[in-house]
Structure 1
Amino acid sequence: MKRRVVSLFSGAGGMDFGSHAAGFNTVMALDNFAASTETFKQHFPETDVITQDIYTFNSSKKNPYPSAEVLTGGYPCQSFSMGGLRDPANDDRSNLFLGFADAVNKIKPRVFIAENVSGLAKLQNGEWFKKQLHVYTHELGVKYRVYWKTLNAADYGVPQMRKRVIIVGVRSDVDGDFEFPEQTHTKSEWAKKKKLLPYTSHGEAIKHLPPHPSGEYYERPHDPEGNFSWYFMSRNRRHRWDKPAFTVVANFRHVTLHPASPVMELEWSNLADGWKQKWRFTDEYDHLEFGAAFPRLDPPRRLSWREAAAIQTFPAHFNPTGDLAKKFEQIGNAVPPLLMQKIMEQVKILL
């Protein structure tokens, strides 16, 4: 019998694709973003999917949740993200974890798993992170042993450098300690020495997809600045074919470049004056050393949504609903399914 999962802030189902791959079953999913819940319904037709904010749902009745052994949730992270305003005190999303904690009290799962950006543990000397840990360890109606760790998805075979804080609570009557999955991948130059696999190449992960997927990536038509704004060109947006990708982001304007685009080089830098830089494209295409069959992308382009989904390790049949911006928002906000699978396999040992 498969263990039951309730998924909050479920998005397009990144955590749930991973949970199902590990042998669990999501019985209920909740999110306030209609495009995400529509995507979820299409890929998990047997799950009860609800479009509503968590506070309204929690107050709808004494206990609106089904029974479940596991509760998961990746509550919004924009107020803690390096790419956001980083002003959690003035952002209502900063306290959404309290809605998650209320759900823990109502469901009383044997295990809960919360995910957030790595900046959560660092921002304002970690005060917001400590606040969350205090609630989970001291203010719940049932006692939980709480474990946390910052994981890099690339360390587990995901073709992307993506660091996230994972918080795991184990109900006090459950025997055994939770152990985070052991690292399986590392930098290629360290792999043999550490007896690990080299990081997964994001070029290899997407080379089967078409080189010119019209309508699947963001462009700036008829803009005098060209296809890439000054802000986009203020940093290196391209990683090598044979390396993991940079973090897949939720904003389709800032998604990084396909590795078959030309190499970028630093034109000038003035970091002392507001972190200003300017990068430019060269005539070099170093992907040909690793993916010679893939054509040179001239002009260069951003990753397509299908490529971003593959880098996130969504299954090949994954197709998010909505326009291009909403597709990228769902993909970029997701927990990589492969990373979640590794975590849930460790949870399975306890259950």
Structure 2
Amino acid sequence: MTNIRSLSNTPAYPLISLFSGGMGLDIGMEAAGLHIAVSQDFDKWCVETIRANNHKAIEGDIKELIQKDPSCEFLLKEAQIRANDVFAVIGGPPCQAFSTAGRRRGEQDERGQLYQQFVHVVTSIRPRFFVMENVKGLASMMVNKGTNSERPLLEVILEEFKRIGYHTVHDVVDAVHYGTPQFRERLIIIGSRDNEPIYIPMPTHFHFHQNPEMRWRTLNDALKGLDDPGPSGKLSERILKYLKLVPEGGNWKSLPQNIVEEAMGGAYKSGGGKVGFFRRLSFNEPSPTLVTSPSQKATLLGHPRELRPLSVREYARIQGFPDNWIFKGSLANCYKQIGNAVPIPLGKAIGEMLRAVAMGNSKVYSKRMRGTSVHNKLKNYQIGNFYD
């Protein structure tokens, strides 16, 4: 943590975190030298987790909290800072409504409107920066804004930030390119109140690179030295029956041909790749995107060699949580907190960018990357069907 102090005698670079969950983004920001002054979440177990790890937390529905105090003084009071001292507001409004795996009701779903509460907090507090993250599905979501034609929801959100005076950059990035042993695509929107040269952080890890330290991290890298994986979810007898026939890195396609249809049941003739059925991960590759329940038949995240799904501690390792991080609630609550989190290495990369800009040390390449797509530039380097 930096020793620089602000004029109000609070730690330098204080942040307000909304929709904090298990604090994945928050931990990444602190690893970059920033300071989480207060976190907020609706889920009681997320709040318990935040407090168990000695962080301040506000429990409650952000919409109701704002209705009671539109000025957002409740955030400043709990954080014990002045509005002028807030370095950034960060957070990821609940994203199920925008997920490509869900029904994509988007803004019609109440959860899809919570970005408006994020915008309200930024409008009220006027932080120097903001960071809003979400699933990549938001980038392609269309909404009807009272006209006969639909508009991209992302366009609507960016216009809101422009209206309140913030310069923004945005892109869909993959956490695997920032040292996370997991393929996880997220939409990142970063805003600057003072039109500073913010940018999407450049990738630091690649599929192939002459420097081993700059190659993708694998599941083996993540789990190395974890002697006790701790508890894991239970698999049904039906899943266990067939999973024992699947080798490391395989799935339902690895089953003997004469039992595939029997094992898959009604899903056998359905469309899609069905890659999650009877899936075992590979130690030699990054993990697929962590889901909130690794025991489900269609989204199984099976251990490479053991007859079980990944454990909570293995989940935490993949996301980059410290080994001493405490998760509160049932096993299902813990999986949910970790599965919904922003990977810590990605949060750290964004935090380092903000700090570099604030200190006037932003990279020369930042200006070249503004208005371009890091994600699209990297597509040419993807080898194999890692995103399936």
Normalised TM-score (structure 2): 0.72
- Alignment: residue pair count: 301
Q: Does 1:241 align with 2:293?
A: no
Partner residue of 2:332 out of 314, 322, 325: 325
C-alpha distance in structure 2 between counterparts of 1:85 and 1:203, whole Å: 34
Contact 1:153 1:336 in 2 (8 A): yes
Aligned to 1:51: 59
User: Is the CA contact 1:7–1:16 (under 8 Å) kept in the aligned structure 2?
Assistant: yes
Report the CA distance between 1:60 and its aligned residue: 2.0
Secondary structure of 2:36's match? strand
**Equivalent position amino acid for 2:61 in 1:** D
In structure 2, distance between residues paired with 1:238 and 1:109: 44
Question: Deviation digits for residues 168-199 of structure 1, max 9, x if unmatched?
Answer: 0100x35x3102221111113xx23x998211
**Could you tell me which residue of structure 2 aligns to residue 200 of structure 1?**
217
Matched, 1:219 2:226: no
Q: Deviations over 1:221-244 (max 9, x none)?
A: 5x5565779599942433321111
Name 1:270's counterpart in structure 2. none
Q: Which amino acid aligns with 2:280?
A: R
Are residues 1:260 and 2:304 paired? yes
Asked if structure 2 preserves the Cα contact closer than 8 Å seen for 1:11 and 1:333, the reply is yes
2:124 aligned to 61, 83, 106, which one? Answer: 106
- Give the CA deviation at 1:83: 2.3
Indicate the larger mover: 66-75 or 248-257.
Answer: 248-257
Equivalent position amino acid for 2:100 in 1: M
Equivalent residues of 2:294, 2:301 under 8 A apart: no
Quote how far apart the aligned CAs of 1:38 are. 0.6
Ranges in structure 1 where 5+ consecutive residues have no aligned partner: 262-296
Percent identity, aligned pairs only, is 30
Does 2:25 correspond to 1:15? yes
Structure 1 pair 134/312, CA: closer, same or farther in 2 (3 Å)? same
Indicate the residue corresponding to 1:131 in structure 2: 156
Aligned to 1:63: 72
Letter matched to residue 137 of structure 1: K
- Matches of 2:30 and 2:235 in 1, distance apart? 38
Alignment partner of 1:158 out of 175, 180, 205: 180
Structure 1 residue matching 2:152: 3-state secondary structure: helix
- Judging by fraction of residues, say which structure has more strand: 1
Write out aligned runs for 1:261-276 (5 A): 261=305
* 1:93 equivalent in structure 2: 111
Query: SS in structure 2 opposite 1:331?
Result: helix
Between stretches 117-126 and 311-320, larger displacement belongs to 117-126
The answer to whether the 8 A contact 1:12-1:331 is kept is yes
- Contact kept? 2:283, 2:304, Cα under 8 Å: yes
Measure the CA separation in 2 of the matches of 1:260 and 1:225. Answer: 15
Tell me, in whole angstroms, the C-alpha distance in 2 between the residues paired with 1:132 and 1:239. Answer: 37
C-alpha contact 1:186 1:196 (8 A) present in aligned 2: no
Give distance in 1, aligned partners of 2:224 and 2:140: 36
- For the aligned residue pairs, the C-alpha RMSD in angstroms reads 2.4
Contact 1:10–1:73 (8 Å) recurs in 2: yes
Label 1:25 to 1:93 Cα distance change in 2 as closer, same or farther (>3 A): same
What's the secondary structure of 1:218's corresponding residue? coil
Partner of 2:198: 178
